[in-house]
A and B are shown apart, each in its own frame.
Chain A
Amino acid sequence: MRSIQRRLSMGLVAVLVVCGLSLILVSQWLVDHALRGYLRGGLQTESENLLIALVRGPNGLQLDEQRLNPAYQRPFSGRYFEIHTGASRWRSRSLWDSTLAVPSSEGLAGRLVDGPDEQRLLVYRANYQRFGQSLTLIVAQDYNPLLASFNRMLRLGAVLGLVALVIILLLQRLTVRNALRPLETVRRQIVQLQQGQRAQLDNQVPLELEPLVSQINHLLRHTEDNLKRARHGIGNLGHALKTPLAVLVSMSARDELAQHPDVQQTLREQLDYIRQRLEHELRRARLAGDQLPGVYLDCDAELPTLCSLVRHLHGAGLFIDCQVPVGLKLPWDREDMLELLGNLLDNAGKWAHAQIRLVIQIKADHYLITVDDDGPGVPATRREEILNRGARLDEHITGHGLGLSIVRDIVDSCGGTLTLAESSLGGLHIQIILPLKKRSPLLASTPSV
Chain B
Amino acid sequence: MRLLLVEDSVALAEEVQAGLIRQGYAVDWLADGRDAAFQGAVEPYDLIVLDLGLPGRSGLDVLREWRSQSLLTPVLVLTARDGWAERIDGLKAGADDYLTKPFHPEELFLRIQALLRRSRGLANQPSLRVAGLSLDEARQCVQQGDAIIELTAAEFRLLRYFMLHPGQILSKTHLGEHLYDGESERDSNVIEVHVNHLRKKLGRDIIETRRGQGYRFGTSV
Contacts of A235 in B (CB 8 A): 53, 80-81
Contacts of A308 in B (CB 8 A): 91
Contacts of A250 in B (CB 8 A): 12, 15-16, 19, 102, 104-105
Instruction: Digitize B6-20: 1 where CB-to-A-CB distance is under 8 Å, 0 elsewhere.
Output: 000101100110010
- Please tell me if the beta carbons of A251 and B15 are within 8 angstroms of each other in the complex: yes
Which chain A residues numbered 301 to 357 have a C-beta less than 8 Å away from chain B? 302, 305-306, 308-309, 312, 334-335, 338-339, 341-343
Most buried by A among B19, B79, B81, B84: B84
Question: Is A41 engaged at the interface, CB distance under 8 Å to the other chain?
Answer: no
Contacts of A334 in B (CB 8 A): 85
| Known interface pairs A238-B81, A243-B80, A246-B12; A338-B101 also in contact (CB < 8 Å) | no
- Please tell me if the beta carbons of A275 and B102 are within 8 angstroms of each other in the complex: yes
Total interface residues on A, using CB and 8 Å?
35
Q: Nearest chain-B residue to A283 (Cβ)?
A: B83
Chain B interface size band reads 20 to 34
Chain A residues touching B, majority SS = helix
Contacts of A11 in B (CB 8 A): none
| Known interface pairs A235-B80, A253-B104, A308-B91; A247-B9 also in contact (CB < 8 Å) | yes
Tell me, rounded to whole Å, the shortest Cβ–Cβ distance linking B118 to chain A: 10
Question: Is B205 engaged at the interface, CB distance under 8 Å to the other chain?
Answer: no
- Please tell me if the beta carbons of B106 and A253 are within 8 angstroms of each other in the complex: yes
Q: In the docked arrangement, what's the CA distance between A241 and B53, Å? A: 13
Contacts of A279 in B (CB 8 A): 82
Task: Tell me how many residue pairs across A and B have CB atoms closer than 8 Å.
Answer: 89
| Known interface pairs A245-B102, A247-B12; A239-B81 also in contact (CB < 8 Å) | yes
Tell me, rounded to whole Å, the shortest Cβ–Cβ distance linking B104 to chain A: 6
- Please tell me if the beta carbons of A246 and B84 are within 8 angstroms of each other in the complex: no
Question: Is A54 engaged at the interface, CB distance under 8 Å to the other chain?
Answer: no
Question: Is A249 engaged at the interface, CB distance under 8 Å to the other chain?
Answer: yes
- Please tell me if the beta carbons of A338 and B83 are within 8 angstroms of each other in the complex: yes
Binding site for B on A (CB under 8 A): 235-236, 238-251, 253, 271, 275, 279, 283, 286, 302, 305-306, 308-309, 312, 334-335, 338-339, 341-343
7 more A-B residue pairs beyond the given contacts A243-B80, A244-B11, A249-B103, with a C-beta to C-beta distance below 8 A:
A242-B102, A246-B12, A246-B102, A286-B83, A335-B83, A335-B85, A341-B84
Name 21 interchain pairs, CB-CB below 8 A, sorted by A. Answer: A238-B80, A239-B80, A241-B80, A242-B80, A243-B80, A244-B12, A245-B101, A246-B9, A246-B102, A249-B104, A250-B102, A251-B15, A302-B88, A305-B91, A306-B84, A309-B84, A309-B88, A334-B85, A335-B85, A338-B83, A339-B84
